[in-house]
Amino acid sequence: MTVRIAWERHGAGPPLILIQGIGLARWGFGPSVDLLADRFEVIVYDNRGIGESDAPPGSYSIPMLAEDALQVLDEAGASSAHVLGASLGGMVAQQLAVEHPERVERLVLCCTTPGRSDAFPVPEPTVRLLAGAAALDRETALTKFTQNALSAGASDELVERIVRLRLEKPQAVAAWGAQVAAGAGFEGVDLGRIQARTLVLHGTEDNAVDPRNSALLAESIPDARSTLLDGLGHMFWWEAPELFARTVGDFLS
């Protein structure tokens, strides 16, 4: 069954597809999209289960989400592109790079994990938050998850801005759960098969994905390097969009 995936493009230049994580639609890269669009044709889309994309019932998987990304590239007329994935999207990007190396020019993996049993587990603050989320109302839960995804230094205004976007464009609980299950079930890929030159980015104050996973990724991918962003949280592209866009743009260029 064909699933409709909503996408759009910004700017001009070499194609760059951005793949978002759990609970965030294509708006989730925030001001970074316009900054990157100064140098690239930026393709952003809603993963299945959120935004304007279809939300089919049942379980989702990383290979399934990677095929969705491939569908977007096909519809955008991009025979190949730079690929950037964040969190769950980083797992999707790994899968895409292994299964379709001819479609991936360079690869950027943000705040993600290799998904193997030897990866560092989810940090305790997120474990506690997930355990208590069912008892919270939607706005309180979204606020706590957003705070958890940013560093302690993030402003209240930034938290409120992201929460407002998530409330305006709510995600069905079942679809959110399907995305969570896709990430939790990711067994990883053979990272040694990734041919694309790779940059691994991670914030040192990430409470959602252990920053030590960045070193595991960089050590296992043949042509990769890792950069830690000091003092930034999981969604560092919101906290420091200019730094993010400059770091990514310089690597891809």
pLDDT tens by residue, 65-104:
999 999 999 999 999 999 999 999 999 999 999 999 999 9
Collect all residues with Cβ–Cβ distance below 8 Å to 160 and sequence separation of at least 6. Answer: none
Q: Give pLDDT tens digits for 104-115.
A: 999 999 999 999
| C-alpha of 207 from chain center | 15
Secondary structure class of 17 (helix, strand, coil): strand
Query: Which of 33, 21, 19 has the alpha carbon at shortest distance from 233?
Result: 21
Judged against a pLDDT cut of 80, whether residue 151 lies above it is answered with yes
- For the entire predicted model, the pTM comes to 0.97
What is the DSSP secondary structure assignment for residue 26, as one 8-state letter?
A: G
Alpha helices in the chain (DSSP H): 32-36, 62-76, 88-99, 124-132, 138-148, 156-168, 173-184, 213-220, 236-239, 241-252
Over 90: is that where the pLDDT of 117 sits? no
SS3 (DSSP) at 18? strand
pLDDT score, position 134: 85
Class of domain 7-122+172-252: alpha beta
The values of phi and psi at residue 200, to 5°, are: -110, 120
